Homo-oligomer: A and B are copies of this chain.
Amino acid sequence: MARDTLAERVLRGDRAAVARAITKVENREEGSAELLETIGKKLGGAFVFGVTGPPGTGKSTLIDRLIEEYRKAGVRVGVIAVDPTSPITGGALLGDRVRMVKHATDEGVFIRSMASRGWSGGLSGAISEAIQILDAAGTEVVIIETVGIGQSDIEVMKIVHAVMVVTMPGLGDDIQVSKAGLMEIGDIYAVNKSDLPGADSMVINLLGMVRDMKGRSPPVLKVSALRGEGVAALFTAVERIRSKVLSPEGRDVRLKSTQGMIAELAKRRVLDRFEGRAESSRELAKKVENREISMEEAARELAEGR
> Which of B85, B123, B295, B303 contacts A181, CB < 8 Å?
B85
Smallest CB–CB gap between A136 and chain B, Å? 11
**Closest partner residue, chain B, to A264 (CB atom):** B299
Question: What's the nearest-Cβ distance from chain B to residue A10, in Å?
Answer: 14
Q: Most B CB atoms within 10 A — which of A119, A184, A263, A285?
A: A263
Q: A154-B85, A296-B265 are in contact. Are A270 and B33 (CB under 8 A)?
A: no
Residue A152 is within 8 A (CB to CB) of chain B in the complex: yes
Interface string of A182-199 (1 = CB under 8 A from B): 001100000000000000
Task: Report which A residues bind B (CB closer than 8 A).
Answer: 33, 36-37, 40-41, 43, 84-89, 93-94, 116, 119-123, 128, 132, 149-155, 157-158, 178-181, 184-185, 254-256, 258-259, 261-263, 265-267, 269-271, 274, 277-278, 281-282, 284-286, 288-289, 291, 294-300, 302-303
CB distance from A288 to the nearest CB of B (A): 5
| B266, A278: Cβ atoms closer than 8 Å | yes
Q: A263-B281, A269-B303 are in contact. Are A41 and B122 (CB under 8 A)?
A: no
- Inter-chain contact B36/A294, CB cutoff 8 Å: yes
Q: Known contacts A86-B181, A274-B266, A278-B266; is A151 also within 8 Å of B295 by CB?
A: no
Q: A73 to nearest B CB, angstroms? A: 26
Q: Is the CB of A281 within 8 A of B265?
A: no
Contact with A33, one of B277, B285, B296, B298 (Cβ below 8 angstroms): B296
- Beyond known contacts A88-B185, A121-B122, A265-B302: 9 more, CB 8 A cutoff: A36-B295, A88-B181, A122-B122, A132-B295, A150-B150, A259-B285, A266-B277, A266-B281, A269-B303
Bound-state CA distance A150–B86 (Å) is: 10
Question: A101 → chain B, closest Cβ, in Å?
Answer: 20
Q: Look across to chain B and name the residue whose beta carbon is closest to the beta carbon of A84.
A: B180
B295 near A258 with CB under 8 A, answer yes
Inter-chain contact B299/A185, CB cutoff 8 Å = no
